[in-house]
Structure 1
Amino acid sequence: MTAALVRRRVILLLVAVAMIAAAAVAMDGVPYEPIYHIRPPKNWINDPNGPYRDPVTGKIHLYMQYNPNGPLWGDIAWYHVTSEDYVKWTRPESPVAMWADRWYDRWGVYSGTMMNNNYSEPVIVYTCTEPENIQRQCIANPPKSDLHGKRTLDTLVKSPLNAIMSEDMIPGLVALENFRDPTEWWLDPTHPNRWLIGFVARIKDSEGDNAHVILFSTEDPSFQSGYSFSHSLYTYKYDLDRMFECPDFFTLAQGGEHYLKLSTMPSHRDYFVYGAYQADPVTGKYIFVEDPERSFTFVDYGPLYASKTFYDPILNRRTMWGWTMDELSDTQVRANGWSGVQNMLRTVVYDTVEQKIKTQPVPETKGLRLHKLVDMKGIAVTQTPTQIVASNTNNTLYHEIIARFTLADPATFAADATYADDSEVPEVGVMVRANASLGQYTTVSVRMPTGGPSPSESTQQLETYPAIKVFSTPTAASCSAECNKMRLCESYTFRESDKNCTMYWKTNPMGTSVDATSGTVREPLLYLGRTQSGTIGNTAPLHGRAPFATATPNGFELHIFVDDSVLEVFKDEGLETLTGRLYIDNGADTTGVAVYARNAGTVTVDIEVYTMDTIWKAPTPNAARNFTNSLYNLLDTLIDV
């Protein structure tokens, strides 16, 4: 081989390496891209669908709403990813499992469920949407050749019987676009060979125009046909949109009690509803009767939405995925080329002491830890932030942080204290995405709301603070009592003129009026502060009620996951959770971690910090070699060696 030929070969190799590096950047270096939250390399995603664990292969299958043609919503298909261990994930070569390609779903193959029928075969039910947004329900199945072969479940074949449930089967349906989002199937308690499945619908009933979870039934053990409308499982009169989304109806290991999970568009939040699944005394059909002493609670205090639970038959546990959308303009999203992530997979457990459902990352998440950066005990926390990880350490935007705070005097968070402004409010927490000078940062904390226990007069509620419930009550005191009892509620306004109580899930801006009285629940808040973050997205704070847990009255734990533009926070093993978004352009300069305490007396912290790995499996050596060889072939064609 001549020297010139060697030089040319070396040049080819260097170019190939550069192209491989460029390919890696294109895959994993796009703006604000998380590495351990599930998403496609590009384009839009929203609701998680399925999910399903195959009891034959052990493989986990997650589907999701996906636009194959761009980063904004539209042309909805089903995208598919798989895992064998909940740690590392794979995108199939052909990741779209179902397209919008039939007359009955040309507007979109919307959200759905995958579950085994009575013959142990996976069946998919999904909302199929005809032009003009006519919503019906359809069935799809993996082909028999796949079920008896590799069981990839990467292609879903639509039933020739579709659509199997239609809008004309629902008494009192208001508008054709208000029938969607199937739950799992379950056996009818009144009939040993009948299965029930739930959907959301907007129905005009005897009490008005209301949000319903409705049930259809079938006696077909294959789940393919024979569906008829049964009855309403649950009705809610106070939703501003008169329509739910993405219901789940499930039991947990503790006592077999039933729970309902709902999403609502006005709040763009998800909720747990507590109650009893029991026979209606008039009809004998089983309905869900809400327990007002426990209902409702938020799934998350951030933009987690359209969450979906599923039961893992191998690990015998129920878990939950949710979707978090972006908080950028359409122009910014188009420039980035992608939008939306699936939240980290969470366990779903009922806490019998706190009487609420808690969610926290599955234990397998620990498999993503790369390096332990910090393990410090008994650090004194003061108003001057204490730097725990310097910015640019390991140059990583991907952290797991576990901070356990202890307060010498928890009474600093007393409900009867009054705070004139934010400078007086007790607050203890962690700074993440901080720069070297700690002049730019995002706070994750537990703090008290401003104001005090005495009701204040108010002119009106700002539009940015959506109401969760409006009802009649005789006095401001009864309005306040109801807000305190309902764990969604942070603040209220009572109008004397019409005796209306309006409850809000954000803190209440106070004003002056002879007619309106407002107040704020005097409990600690789990709080995400973004005003100093440097984000180009939303800087408004996110928060929700987060009292100290009964088991730890002198402190609390914050478990924080930082994944570039995605933050997930779990307080006290998931009793309260909060998801947030950050879009920081100088990302490499804002990787620091610090702790702080303001107006809280003596505080100490035990803290651990880990760097985190990607969830995506690396290409196999053969795949990498084939890619390199293909680059050589391309370059040999372009360059005359």
Structure 2
Amino acid sequence: MSYKGLYHLFYQYNPKGAVWGNIVWAHSVSTDLINWTPLDQAISPSQPSDINGCWSGSTTILNGTKPAILYTGIDQFNHQVQNLAYPKNLSDPFLRDWIKSKKNPVMEPTSINMINASSFRDPTSGWLGKDGHWRVIVGSKRDTRGIAILYRSKDFINWIEAKHPLYSSKGTGMWECPDFYPVLKFSSIGVDTSLNNDDVRHVLKVSLDDKKHDYYLIGSYDDGKDNFVPDKGFQNTSEFFLRYDYGKYYASKTFFDDQKNRRILLGWVNESSTVADDIKKGWSGIHTIPRAIWLHKSGKQLVQWPVVEVEKLRVNLVNLPPKVLKGGELLQINGVTAAQADVEISFEVNNIGEAEVLDNWTDPQILCSQKGSSVKSGLGPFGLLVFASKGLQEFTSVFFRIFRYQHKNLVLFCSDQSRSSLNKDNDMTTYGTFIDVDVVHEKLSLRSLIDHSVVESFGGEGKACITARVYPTLAINDKAQLYAFNNGTTDVKINRLSAWSMKKAQLNGN
């Protein structure tokens, strides 16, 4: 959240180990969303309603001045219940101390609503209805139906469950870390969570426990009936299924940044290493670079882009002139610290008739696995090789491949980790999605933020994002190399290639 000129990040943390357990709310602050300073824990187990863990939740700024936290506590019976906390001293911009409500828990599962006490968690930020009452949703399930349970309150303390959920969907399983917020129809500017008028659409995002990915729907919020009506449901097998990120990315949360009038998205990225390796290195789990998020002008999907503040870390710009990248060509990008870099590249495709014909619809992630960066076709693969070792025993490839499907051009966007490390104990899943870009009239752009074990890639100016965790054994620190490549049989043109070395952000006080 943003409060009195500071950004506050609360996150699930185990103070006693590198892997999950003993969960508390850790707390860090920042002036720019990039450099962070840790504070003492904000919330830790101390009441019967949270004695077995303080799990995920959300902050809400009440009346524009007073922050409040709703969070899931694991009580003395190991039931999931919702608790309230508020700052001890509002004049302290760091909000170091938090007081728990004496009325905790303020929401709990009941036999009446048939909610399992182990499937009732992660309350959202609150929003105000036109009646002046607060609303929040809590993630849940009934059998295999995912549910966003709606609660209302006059005072943010006493909550009453609505007769009907905000939205539910059969066959989707447990909904974790739900998020619900408005986006403007025709602007990238963010708006307050309570806004609802003819100029906005609404986004419902849920983290599907069964799939371990974050999915979202775009639709309309009827504040008279208190329900959400999506344009397309989760059951829809659309060619372009809506996910925030098609790689390792989960349990995300947005907030309205009133300092710069934008909506900011933060996500958690877990490890690809083994638990034993995590314990050995002493930590696990990272947050992505914060992203601005808004509705694409088509109204059919969201767009994400790293916050502009990350560009403060850029140094030593390398610009390459426009160049035709011939089929089979590998172009090394020198002068950049390849293990910690920001790379923007734009491709132009002219010989669209050379695209490979795709006869049958195939899941894009499977297609990326079957047709990795070493499998040639007419147009592609072309893109970047990151964390590449000398001799290319190790590399991670982020690339495009163009198909012809049902008389239309179809762009596949992949992040291939299959050769990312000689350590075969790592998860080296290949990720991918189709991306909605008109390659005849538009350039095909790629931006990758590279940082030692993470590659955050943004295709088509943020229309599709893929985050990967990789652990090379050879391509580390100054041994890492960076390339642009074209392994297709047809030439493509690099219109622009700009790359920067990146300074280290201040994290955890270092």
Please say whether Structure 1 and Structure 2 have the same fold, judged by a TM-score greater than 0.5: yes
Match of 1:533 in 2: 420
**Matched residues in 2 for 1:343 and 1:560: separation?**
12
Q: 1:552 to 1:78 in 2, by over 3 A?
A: farther
1:161 maps to which of 103, 118, 121: 103
Q: Could you state the TM-score of these two structures normalised by the residue count of structure 1?
A: 0.70
CA distance in 2, matches of 1:381, 1:119: 53
Compute the RMSD of aligned alpha carbons: 2.7
Offset at residue 311 of structure 1 (A): 0.4
Report the alpha carbon displacement of residue 581 of structure 1 after superposing the two structures with TM: 0.6
CA separation in 1, counterparts of 2:434 and 2:384? 18
CA deviation after TM superposition for structure 1 residue 226, in Å: 4.5
CA contact (8 A) 2:304 2:463 kept: yes
In the alignment, the residues of structure 1 paired with residue 398 and residue 413 of structure 2 have an alpha-carbon distance, to the nearest angstrom, of 8
Look up the match of 1:594.
483
Alignment of 1:259 onto 2:146: no
Would you say the 8 A contact 1:410–1:555 is kept in 2? Answer: no
Aligned to 1:27: none
Q: What does residue range 104-503 of structure 1 map to in structure 2 within 5 Å?
A: 104-118=49-63, 120-143=65-88, 146-148=89-91, 150-168=92-110, 171-173=113-115, 175-189=116-130, 192-203=131-142, 209-220=144-155, 223-239=156-172, 242-254=173-185, 255-278=199-222, 285-292=225-232, 296-353=241-298, 355-372=300-317, 374-390=318-334, 397-413=339-355, 415-416=357-358, 423-425=375-377, 426-448=380-402
Query: Does structure 2 conserve the Cα–Cα contact (< 8 Å) formed by 1:136 and 1:180?
Result: yes
Question: C-alpha distance in 1, partners of 2:295/2:30?
Answer: 26
Following superposition, the deviation at residue 338 of structure 1 comes to 0.2
Q: Is the 8 A contact 1:180 1:245 kept in 2?
A: yes
Cα shift at 1:327 = 1.5
Alpha-carbon distance in 2 for matches of 1:64, 1:421 = 37
- Matched residue, 2:42: 97
Task: Say if 1:271 and 1:297, in contact at 8 Å, map to a contact too.
Answer: yes
Deviation at 1:411, TM superposition (A): 3.5
Secondary structure in structure 2 of the residue aligned to 1:543 = strand
CA contact under 8 A between 2:36 and 2:508: conserved in structure 1?
no
Contact kept? 1:178, 1:200, Cα under 8 Å: yes
Distance 2:393 2:128 in 1: 58
Residue by residue, what CA displacement relative to the aligned partner does 1:1-47 show, whole Å, maximum 9, x if unpaired? xxxxxxxxxxxxxxxxxxxxxxxxxxxxxxxxxxxxxxxxxxxxxxx
* Bigger Cα displacement from structure 2, 317-326 vs 115-124: 115-124
In 2, Cα distance between equivalents of 1:65 and 1:261:
19
% identical equivalent positions = 26
Please tell me the residue identity of whatever aligns with 1:611. S
SS at match of 1:297: coil
- On the 8 A contact 1:385/1:594 being kept in 2, the answer is no
Alpha-carbon contact 1:212-1:236 (below 8 Å) kept: yes
> C-alpha separation between the residues in 2 aligned to 1:618 and 1:71?
15
CA gap of 1:245–1:379, structure 2 versus 1, over 3 A, is same
CA distance 1:596–1:105, change in 2 (3 Å):
same
Secondary structure of the corresponding residue to residue 438 of structure 1: coil
- Which residue of the partner structure matches residue 503 of structure 1? none
Distance in 1 (CA, whole Å) between partners of 2:227 and 2:80 is: 24
Q: Displacement of 1:526 after TM fit?
A: 1.2
Aligned to 2:33: 86
How far apart in 2 are the matches of 1:441 and 1:266?
30
Pair 590,524 (structure 1): closer, same or farther in 2 beyond 3 Å: farther
Residues 306, 323 of structure 1: 8 Å contact kept: yes
1:560 aligned residue: 448
Q: Is the 8 A contact 2:265 2:293 kept in 1?
A: yes
Residues 528 and 554 (structure 1), Cα distance of their counterparts in 2 relative to 1, 3 Å cut: same
1:105 and 1:552 mapped to 2: Cα distance? 56
CA contact under 8 A between 1:410 and 1:553: conserved in structure 2?
no
In 2, distance between residues paired with 1:596 and 1:395? 18
How far 1:585 moved relative to its partner?
2.4
Residues 355-374 of structure 1: CA deviation (Å, up to 9, x unaligned): 210111011111111221x2
Judging by fraction of residues, say which structure has more helix: 1
| Count of aligned positions | 476
Code of the residue aligned with 1:366 in structure 2: it is E
Q: Does structure 2 retain, via aligned residues, the 8 Å contact 1:448–1:524?
A: yes
Shift of 1:584: 1.4
* Cα-to-partner distance string for 1:330-360 (whole Å, 9 max, x where unaligned): 1111101000001110011111236210111
* Stretches of structure 1 lacking an aligned partner (at least 5 in a row): 1-51, 455-520, 621-641
TM-score, L = length of structure 2: 0.87
Distance 2:357 2:52 in 1: 51
Amino acid in structure 1 at the alignment position of 2:257: D
Match of 1:53 in 2: 2
The answer as to whether partners of 2:52 and 2:76 remain within 8 angstroms in 1 is yes
> Mapping of 1:536-555 within 5 angstroms?
536=423, 537-547=426-436, 549-550=437-438, 553-555=441-443
Q: Which whole-Å CA distance do the structure 1 matches of 2:308 and 2:440 have between them? A: 22
**2:506 paired residue number:** 616
Q: Distance in 2 between matches of 1:270 and 1:157?
A: 31
The CA distance in 1 between the partners of 2:337 and 2:64, in whole Å, is: 52
Paired residues of 1:412 and 1:599 also in contact (CA < 8 A): no
Change (3 A) 1:234 1:442: same
Is 2:21 the counterpart of 1:69? no
Answer whether contact 1:410 1:554 (CA < 8 A) is retained: no
